[in-house]
Structure 1
């Protein structure tokens, strides 16, 4: 078995275990990542608006 496929399988199994065993914590983790991405996108937009105004 390829090492890359093995690592991907282990990560998928870990994520599934975490989602099944702690769904509330998993949802909070995903929401935190989405808020971080939203904040980063807003910062980029603000930067670009500052350049062109």
Structure 2
């Protein structure tokens, strides 16, 4: 068996950073809801634009 005790500090750090990120998101949502909504809208707008462009790219590949 391999002793993986050297991984424990890294896993704890990852868990703490995850909790801090979640806490920051919750804090941001409660303190600036309009800006949070705009950020979410921008992210989903970017994903939508990327998906549309990817679809257009593959359509142009198949069409030729």
RMSD between aligned alpha carbons?
1.0
Greater Cα radius of gyration, structure 1 or 2: 2
Q: Which residue of 2 aligns with 1:8?
A: 18
Q: TM-score, structure 1 length as denominator?
A: 0.96
CA positional deviation for 1:6: 0.2
For residue 28 of structure 2, the aligned residue among 18, 21, 24 is 18
Query: Where in structure 2 are there 5+ consecutive unaligned residues?
Result: 1-8
- The answer on 1:34 being equivalent to 2:44 is yes
Q: Return the offset for 1:7.
A: 0.2
1:3-42, Cα deviation, whole Å (9 max, x unpaired): 0100000000000000000000000000000000000000
By relative contact order (CA 8 Å, sep 6+), the higher-ranking structure is 1
How far apart, in 2, do the equivalents of 1:51 and 1:13 lie? Answer: 44
Structure 1 runs of 4+ aligned residues shifted over 4 Å read: none
Distance in 2 of aligned mates of 1:20 and 1:32? 19
